[in-house]
Amino acid sequence: MNNIYLKEHLIKLPKIEDPRGNLSFIEELNQIPFKITRVYWIYDVPGGQSRGGHAFKEQQELIVALSGSFDVILDDNLGKREYSLNRSYYGLYVPNLIWRSMENFSTNSLCLILASTHYDEKDYIRDYHEFLRFLAK
């Protein structure tokens, strides 16, 4: 896979503009560099709550603000980066081994996540210090 995919990056998705309403799409291994194994979404987030707060050993993902807005905070040994997602035709590609959390969800926001793996609790690193130790290996 091309090196560009080793770091997180925003992907502009196709947007078919139409007076009847716009349309965007994602195809595995085309707009995104992995096979889509799982799709999940986060919604009805009460004001002030945050989600995430973990890293994945293997899972890569694409995060899309299908509706509303929220911030994705990424952290690893390169430091902290923050991405504000608020357009349904942009996705944030997040490779494995990045600590990520999501916060500042707007009312009625809808966060779609396309994941490269099935759900597996063993793939999670939920302790930040364990994550740092894992990176140092």
54 is catalytic: yes
Handedness of CA 56, 58, 82, 135 (dihedral sign): positive
How many Cα atoms occupy the beta-carbon half-sphere of 22 within 13 Å?
Answer: 11
In angstroms, rounded to a whole number, what is the distance separating the alpha carbons of residues 120 and 116? Answer: 11
CB atoms < 10 A from the CB of 39, how many? 11
User: By CB under 6 A, which span of 6-14, 49-57, 63-71, 77-85 interacts with ligand TYD?
Assistant: 49-57
CB 38 to ligand TYD: min, Å: 6
Among 33, 52, 91, 95, which residue sits at the site for ligand TYD (rule: CB under 6 A)? 52
* Site membership for ligand TYD, residue 57 (CB under 6 A): no
Task: Work out how close the CB of 100 gets to ligand TYD at its nearest, in angstroms, rounded to a whole number.
Answer: 9
Spatial separation of the C-alpha atoms in residues 77 and 110, rounded to whole Å: 29
Task: Select the residue whose beta carbon is closest to ligand TYD and give its number.
Answer: 51
- Residue 51 sits in the site that holds ligand TYD (CB under 6 A): yes
Query: Which residues does the annotation mark as catalytic?
Result: 54
